[in-house]
Amino acid sequence: MRLNIGMRWVGLLAIAGLAAFVGCAERDDTLSDVDTDPPVVSSVTEQDGRVSWDTDEDAECVLLYGPRMGIYDHYGYSVYDGARAHYVDLIDIEPDTYYFRIMATDRAGNSMTTEETSYEVSEVPATENLIYTMVDVGWGDCHFLEFPNGTNVMVDAGWGTIGEHPHAADVDQFLLARGVAAPAGIDYMVGTHAHADHYGYFLGLLPRFPETHFLAPGQCYSSVWDQVEDVLTSPFTMTDSLEEGQTNSNVDFLKWDEEHDVEVKVMSSGAGRFLQSGYSSDAINNDSAVLKITYGEVDIMLGADAEEFAEQRMVKAYGTEMDVEVLKVGHHGNNDASSEEYLTAVSARVGLIPNCLEENPGVFDQQIIDRLRAYGIDYYVSDRAYMNGARDDAPVHGHVSVVTDGESYIVWSWK
């Protein structure tokens, strides 16, 4: 778990007390200077694929790098960020020349970005990585997890061919690019809740991947089971229900990679039934299965469409256990999710948002973007239309992957 030190730090303003001198009408009003100086980055080195540097004050940093001068398509973070000594492992790269810049932000919110530096990376140690990809399916959710032991898990599948904006081909091309082949290439499929922008393409994938294990919330107003039961016909397809509080230590179907001590926990599932509004879209969103995946010191939270109601229940139930490094931002960036209490509890450094301005401009909310910035969360969006205001490089679009060795984690985009 990373230290809870971030861009949301409040600068300290020290006020000296008033001094009254006997027999003298003068008084000494002294205000210390407010910190307006950005951190200074020094001692930047690279060895065996690890870039290290120092800052002259506590700071959070991100390493921008890529194989071409002036173009950075990788963003590197360390769990142990926020102090004065920093490093990032260049995960999932080949020996080559890489170009670097470091962006550092101190407690008072002052930022600086170094000049570009290049290094010839001659040797990259072999690592066992977890790869999490937010697949670009327009306005919809599709997330793919590749575990170090080879287990593949798809959490939601986007619209597929349902609706006005089909994205089945995007999912197929993604699976082809990652070498995922039928009939056994997807070990688990997780339907988080019964909205077609999440479960739609399961209708096309389940017949092609009959050996998968399908998981969905067991208690909810409108079960995902009901939506996909017509294609759950293969005798090889296993099914199980997700219930809040389940972990890989108490149910076998969450043992996705115990060889590498990966922990999986269901933080919420079927909470919509506790709403008083009855059967509604809000209830279905709050039914969402929310998953927390931990690999080494890196935690990932997949929040599906859980709204503030489910968020508050999780904060109350789990408290500091909510703390993660990477957050799939709830409900496509809608303002009915990502409450301040929730963002405080998750204390994330990186947020991923699946959305498409052209397909659904009404869901994405500028208030949430402003809130993510205020909480020091670097956000990455599958739609190029939403540029990350906290970044000084090109906007991200397409598939967004997080690659982690359990200590550092790299964000990069591709299509």
Contact by Cβ (8 Å): 364, 387: no
Residue type for position 244: E
Last residue of a domain, one of 126, 156, 189: 126
Residues 107-124: pLDDT tens digits? Answer: 888 999 999 999 999 988
85 and 171 both lie in a single domain: no
Relative to beta strand 50-55, strand 41-47 is antiparallel
Quick check: 22 pLDDT over 50?
no
Give the pLDDT confidence score for residue 8 in this predicted structure: 38
Q: How many domains does the chain have?
A: 2
87 and 145 both lie in a single domain: no
Q: List Cβ neighbours of 105 (8 Å cut-off, separation of 6 or more).
A: 7, 39, 59, 60, 61, 111, 376
138 and 117 both lie in a single domain: no
82 and 108 both lie in a single domain: yes
Average pLDDT over residues 297-309: 96
CA–CA distance, 54 with 400 (Å, rounded to integer): 28
Quick check: 357 pLDDT over 60?
yes
Per-residue tokens: 8 = 């949301």
Residues found in the chain: 415
Name the residue range of residue 293's domain: 130-414
Q: Give the burial class of 242: count Cβ atoms within 10 A of its Cβ; 0-12 exposed, 13-18 middle, 19 or more buried.
A: buried
Quick check: 361 pLDDT over 80?
no
Give the pLDDT confidence score for residue 390 in this predicted structure: 57
Cβ neighbour number for residue 274 with a 10 Å cutoff:
12
143: β partners: 134, 155
165 and 259 both lie in a single domain: yes
222 and 323 both lie in a single domain: yes
The enclosing H or E element of 409 equals: strand 408-414
90 and 143 both lie in a single domain: no
* CATH (domain of 264): 3.60.15.10
Last residue of a domain, one of 126, 152, 187: 126
134 and 119 both lie in a single domain: no
Instruction: From 335, 273, 331, 323, select the one nearest 306 (Cα to Cα).
Output: 331
Inter-CA distances, 91 with 46, 102, 370, Å: 13, 17, 30
53 and 142 both lie in a single domain: no
Cβ neighbour number for residue 259 with a 10 Å cutoff:
12
Backbone dihedral region for residue 153 (phi beyond 0: left; psi -120 to 50: alpha; all else: beta): beta
* CATH (domain of 86): 2.60.40.10
Give the pLDDT confidence score for residue 29 in this predicted structure: 47
Which residue intervals of 135-258 are DSSP H helices? 168-177, 196-199, 202-208, 224-228
50 and 190 both lie in a single domain: no
210 and 344 both lie in a single domain: yes
- Stronger pLDDT, 246 or 48, i.e. the higher one: 246
119 and 134 both lie in a single domain: no
Average pLDDT over residues 373-382: 90
DSSP string, 160-177: TTSSSS--HHHHHHHHHH
Q: Output the CA angle 89-47-128, nearest 5 degrees.
A: 35
Last residue of a domain, one of 110, 126, 142: 126
Give the pLDDT confidence score for residue 17 in this predicted structure: 38
Cβ neighbour number for residue 281 with a 10 Å cutoff:
13
